[in-house]
Amino acid sequence: MGEIRKFETGATRDTDTGKLDYEGFYSPLVMERFAQYMNKHRVQSDGSLRDSDNWQKGFGENHCNVCFKSLYRHFIDAWFIHRGYKRFDKQRNEEITIDEALCAILFNTMAYLFKILEGKYEKNI
């Protein structure tokens, strides 16, 4: 049996021992910046707006290769910027910032991991 937390108000709760601490594992600063990155990149080259969860549909049978190649390109951008060099996005006609490059790395990492994890879970649909 687990332990019970008792509060001065009389309320009781199970302890949080062994439970995932999402609030501690994530930073609102990082999550907001990543959401801004994702929202910016919802706009496609033809001006249309894709759904926010569109990436979860996957990138075909070579999904992981697509993610890794993109991740590596963005890693190179981040590395250059980290070393003091400027990087430029020719498609968007703007300088790439370190946080933009890191968000791109994060996106590709999560898309790759999503594909791996998705195969381990059965959908209840």
Domain extent at residue 108 = 17-51+59-118
Is 102 among the domain residues?
A: yes
Is 67 among the domain residues?
A: yes
> What CA dihedral angle connects 101, 105, 108 and 112, to 10 degrees?
180
Asked if the model's pLDDT at residue 124 lies above 80, the reply is: no
Number of domains in the chain: 1
The tokens describing 31, both together, are 């999550």
What is the C-alpha to C-alpha distance for residues 118 and 108, in angstroms, rounded to an integer?
Answer: 15
Mean pLDDT of 59-69: 95
Is 89 among the domain residues?
A: yes
What is the C-alpha to C-alpha distance for residues 6 and 2, in angstroms, rounded to an integer?
Answer: 13
pLDDT-derived band at 92 (thresholds 50, 70, 90) equals confident
- Which element (helix H / strand E) includes 6? strand 4-6
Asked if the model's pLDDT at residue 7 lies above 70, the reply is: yes
- 3-state SS class at 94: strand
Is 4 among the domain residues?
A: no
Is 8 among the domain residues?
A: no
